[in-house]
Structures are given as structure tokens and as C-alpha cells.
Chain A
Amino acid sequence: MTATDPRPLIEAKAVTRVLPGVVPTVLVREVSLTVTGPSFVAITGPSGSGKSSLLYLLGLLDLPTTGEVVVGGRATSAMDEPERAMIRLSTLGFVFQFHFLLPEFSALHNVMLPMRALAALSDGEMRVRAEGLLDSLGLSGHGHKRPDQLSGGQRQRVAVARALANDPPLILADEPTGSLDSKASEQVFTILRDLVDRRGKTVIAVTHDLDLAARMDRRIQLVDGAVAADTGARTAVA
């Protein structure tokens, strides 16, 4: 286990997201939380409670209406889109409920995509790293296959490999096991657990499976877009 870094990886400061409309919808209400790595954080709550919405805000995919998301000590609401894109590319990894791989590219090329966009490694190094990631997630020999030639569990593991492509400290996962059967689901969960325990990553995962949430380090429960309970945090909220 890596030593605990006292600096917060990501912070939400009174984040509120309102969808404008004839009847404005409040997706996320006054959420404040601090996540310090490494940690395995579950976001739970009933369907429609705003779990995905909160994750998009933490992942800089969406902008809060009020409040501030701070990533690695940097406030993000005043940044322009290219700057936020750069933070997503280099320090955040996403895994969605559906694999969301590019259908025309092989598993290997899907994993290499964020590396090529960042262009920090040479072609050869990218290939070696992508193959290494696929191997470590039990996908040796599947790198050349296109997503439609893989099973649901395999695709989701490719998606995890892609999220790890640029070695980000933080992985955000939205119901990563939601569309998988129990065996594949267990496999993906174990992988995420290992990321935290062996590689010192921090994983924030949305789940409605309370058994899985119980096996994580910290549970944040949302009700109607607001934090209803926050248990198991290793560091006290500042």
C-alpha cells in the first residue's frame, strides 16, 4: 500500500447543478466532499438521485451552476474547455456503465487512444504500455479484437485499461458493473479494488449495489441530489 497523500485529490465545494428549463431541475444540491487518495469511494443512492450527475461534475464533463470543483489543488470553474480537457486527459480516467469503446478500433488501439492524444510517449512505448495494461487486466491475446468481438465483461475491462492509459491518479466509474452478470461483475470489481490496493489509485464508483458498496472504503449516499450520509472516510472532511 502506498502511503496516504495528505493533499486532497479532488474536492467539491458546495456544488450545485441546476438544469435550466421551464421547470428547472436540480440535479445536484450543495454537495461538498473531499477525496484524498488512495481510496475506494462508493456513491450510492436510489435511481435518479443525481449520482451520475455528481460524477460528471467531479470529472469536469459538466460545469456546476454554483460551487467549485478543485482537482489537484486547482479550481476548475474558471478554466476554459481546452484546459479542462487537458486535465481529463492527463489526470482523470473514466469508466461508464456501457463500455463506450470506439467500435472501429481494436481493444489495443482503444487503450492507446488517450496516450496518443496526450502524445507523451513514443509509438513503441504506447504499444508496450497498452499491452501491459491489457495483460494485467486478464486480456492477453485479445488486443487485436474489435469491441464487438469481446464479451461484456471483457469490454468493460478494456474500458478500465483505457481509463488507466495515461496513469491518472483518479478513476471515475459510473455503474461499471451495472450491465454485467455477477461473474463478470465480480471480476471488474476485483480489478478496481486492486487498483486502489496495489497501484495506489483512487476510484470513485457509482453503484446501486449495496453489497459492493460495503466492500469499498467509503460510502457517500445521495438522496435527491444532496449528500445524505458519508461513512468510512479515512480523513476527516476539512
Chain B
Amino acid sequence: MRLVFDIALTHVRARLRHTGVAVAGVATGVGFSVMMAALMQGSQDDFIRQLVNALPHISVTDERRSPPRQPAEEIFAAAQIHGLTPEARRRGIKNPLAIMAAVEAWVPGGVAPSVKVQAILRYASRDVGTSIIGIDPRREPNVSELVHQMRVGTLSALYRATNAIILGDRLAEKIGARVGANITVQTSEGANVNAQVVGLFHAGVRSIDEGTAYVLVRTGQILARQTGLVNELRMRVDDPLAARQVAERVERETGYKSVSWQEAHEDLLSTFVIRNVIMYTIVGAILLVASFGTYNIISTITHEKARDIAIMKSLGLPERTVRSIFVIEAALIGLAGGLAGFALGYLLCVALGSVEFKSPFMDANRIPLAYSAWHYLIAMAVALTSSVAAGFMPARKAARVHPVDIIRGAS
């Protein structure tokens, strides 16, 4: 085996310029693959992070996944019901405090109640449709980033006025309201409440900053005209990736529909799958093209070395050994290209990561990049495999040659 390595190294070393070109090809492929993987993964992670931070990990609502069971179904073994209009249920989650206590006992994370009401904000004769969310300022920090998103005022300012309200900063701008302004909140349930703006928040997601306002749970219940109403429990779990399993268990235990962030954004997550398929296809193509260079150089070497191959075979070196010489040369090119590509890819990432820019859609001012050993390992694995495959074809052809055909021609 050492012999095979020695011969392979000698061949490669004698053609440094040519092999250099092949190595550079593989290095460029690996470098850009690594950079692209870092970019894609980075933007995906960043997006998911924002998604996970902006929304509760699990939302338990007063809905049920299937219509309530009818008495006929309870009594008879087989019953079919058509065109049923279920009895109007009292809205809201029953016994929210008991459920929260039960859930808090085992969920690694926090729970907070809320009341969601659609309303129209009216200020200085401007009307804006808004989602009003009634929250508990003491529990809220356990489930959302709202505390850290406050721009003016604090969450506890909600306790200061009778009907205090915190607006998204873009929403406030839209209606022209400042802290201290008195605005009117109207709901379809017929409530009409005067509220005082006590704070502004900025979540960084346009749709939220433009269309959301926070009040106390009690105020929310007044707006919904239903005392004691809690129509959503929001949960945050320590491991966001476990949200799906936790949601399933909560739903099993409470009977209320529990939606994890993954379920809520299944469409988005599936576009990530498509995005990754596209990325890996392109990366694979780049590395495949890079391996053409390897094919070229190995082909050239086997042609130049036809006489040496004949000599080695005539001495009795087996075909397998001769073939592995050139396969190893291809692997060496792939390996060298891969290592150089690591450096190139890392430098490209650092360079990209240092570019600052301003975006109207994002708060981030740097391109999000993910550094992962996997990107490097996968790129190396693909580069090595394609190089070896590219080298294998000419190597096999060269090793099959009959030495006599060449020796006869030479002597």
C-alpha cells in the first residue's frame, strides 16, 4: 500500500501545476458550498428564531379538533349524524387556573393566560382594526419577549390606569397616538371603552407592530363582554423543538386544541425543506463540476503514464494495485481541494459576516450565518466521493491495458 502511495504522490508532485488547477477547482466548489450552506442555514435559523421568539411556542385555545360528541353517539354503538348545528357553547377555556396549575407541574417552561379580541382603535378620527390581547403582566415574561420589546414604558404600567393599553410602535405612528393619549376601543360585541396609552413596544415583525395592542386580562374581558373569559393559554417551553410533543400531551390531557409553533407554521417549515433540497442540488452540482477537473487530470496522467503502467503490469503488479494508484491520486486531489476549500469557505463566511447593511424588513444589520462542522464534513464527503468516482473511470481503463500492446509498440 505504501508503494501505491509513493507512486501516486510522485505522479502528483511531478505535475504540480496541473494538479493545482484540479485542486483549485475542488477547493472553489467546496468553499462556495460551505458558504452557501452557512448562508442558507443561517437565514433559516434566524427566521425560525424570530418566529419562535415572536409567537408562543404552544397556543392552547378554546376550540376542539372534532365537534362535540352527541348524546346519540354516547348511547348507541353506531350512530350517524347529518347537518347538525351544535348548541352554542359558552366561549373560553373552563377552569384556566386549574389547567395552568396542572400544566405548570410538568411542562418545562411557562404558561400565561390571554384574551383575544378583535377591535377597532379610534383616535383623532382615525380607525384601525387591531388584535387586542389581554395579558397578565406577571406571567407574560414567562411566555414572550414582550418585556424586552418595550420601547416606551413597562409592562406593569398596565396596572397604572383603569383601561391602560400598550400599542405596537407602528400602530401608534399610524393613528398618531403617543403615550398618555386617550383612545377609543370598539368591539363587535358592542363594547366601547376609553383607554389610555401607557407604553409602546417593537417586536421587529411588521405585522405585529402594526396590528397588535396589549391590555390587562380584565380589560380584555370587558371588551369581549364576558367576565372570567380566557380564550387562550400561551406556553413557552425550554426546548422549542420539543413543542410539538408537549402540545400533543397538553391536548390529550385538557381536551383543548393545542397548536405548537411547528404546526402553526407547517407551510413555512415545508418551504424550508424545498429550499434545502434546492440548495443541496446546487451544491452537489457545483462539486460535480469541480470533479470534472479531477477526471481531466487523472485521464491525462494515465495517458502520459501508459508506458509505466505497462511496465508495472509486466513486472507482475496486479491490476487492482495499478488502478488504486490513480484512484489515490484522485483522492489526494479531492482531499487537498477539500482542505483548501475549508479555508476558502471559512474566509468567505467571515467576509460575508462582516458586511453591514440596513434592511427595512429586518432589525438585523448583518447577514445571518450558521457555522457548523456538518457543512464542512458534508462538502468534504461529496468532494472526495465525486473526485474518487471521477478518477476511478480513467484509472480502471488504464489498469486494464495489456502490457504487450504497449511494449510491442515501443520495442
Contacts and interface: CB of A to CB of B under 8 A. Distances in A.
A102 B311 contact: yes
A92 B314 CA distance: 10
Contacts of B7: 102
A113 B315 contact: yes
A90 B316 contact: yes
Given A104-B11, A117-B3, A175-B411, A62 B404 contact: yes
A87 B316 contact: yes
Interface in A72-91: 81-82, 85-90
B321 to A, nearest CB: 7
B265 interface: no
A97 interface: yes
Given A52-B408, A98-B410, A89 B311 contact: no
A114 B189 CA distance: 96
A117 B404 CA distance: 20
A178 B403 CA distance: 20
Contacts of A175: 411
Contacts of A117: 3, 315-317, 321
A96 interface: yes
Interface string B308-321: 10011111111111
Nearest to B10: A104
Interface string B387-408: 0000000000000001110011
A81 B313 CA distance: 10
A92 B319 CA distance: 17
Contacts of B77: none
Interface in B363-411: 402-404, 407-408, 410-411
Contacts of A62: 402, 404
Given A61-B407, A97-B411, A98-B410, A89 B317 contact: yes
B14 interface: yes
A94 interface: yes
A100 B408 contact: no
**Interface of B, helix, strand, loop or mixed by DSSP:** helix
A81 to B, nearest CB: 6
A104 B404 contact: no
Contacts of A109: 6
A123 to B, nearest CB: 8
Contacts of A90: 316
A189 interface: no
Interface in B302-353: 307-308, 311-321
B411 A52 contact: yes
A174 B411 contact: yes
Nearest to A103: B308
B404 A85 contact: no
A85 B316 contact: yes
Contacts of B408: 52, 56
Nearest to A174: B411
A175 to B, nearest CB: 7
A124 B302 CA distance: 31
Interface in B85-143: none
A116 interface: yes
Contact of A88 (B3, B10, B315): B315
A100 B317 CA distance: 15
Contacts of A59: 314
A94 B3 contact: no
A105 B3 CA distance: 12
A89 B319 contact: no
Contacts of A104: 10-11, 14
Contacts of B315: 88-89, 94, 113-114, 117, 162
A233 B410 CA distance: 32
Most buried by B among A96, A102, A114: A102
Contacts of B160: none
Contacts of B316: 85-90, 92, 114, 117
A209 B255 CA distance: 105
B2 interface: yes
Interface of B: 2-3, 6-7, 10-11, 14, 307-308, 311-321, 402-404, 407-408, 410-411
29 contacts: A59-B314, A61-B403, A81-B319, A82-B318, A82-B320, A85-B316, A85-B317, A85-B318, A85-B319, A89-B315, A89-B316, A90-B316, A92-B316, A96-B411, A98-B410, A100-B307, A102-B7, A102-B312, A103-B308, A105-B10, A109-B6, A113-B3, A113-B315, A114-B316, A116-B3, A117-B315, A117-B316, A117-B321, A174-B411
Interface of A: 52, 56, 59, 61-62, 81-82, 85-90, 92, 94, 96-98, 100-105, 109, 113-114, 116-117, 162, 174-175
- In the A-B complex, list the 6 residue pairs whose CB atoms are closest, starting with the nearest: A89-B316, A88-B316, A116-B3, A97-B411, A104-B10, A62-B404
Given A86-B316, A117-B317, 19 more contacts: A52-B408, A56-B407, A56-B408, A86-B318, A88-B315, A88-B316, A92-B316, A94-B314, A100-B307, A100-B314, A102-B7, A102-B312, A103-B308, A109-B6, A113-B312, A113-B315, A114-B315, A117-B3, A162-B315
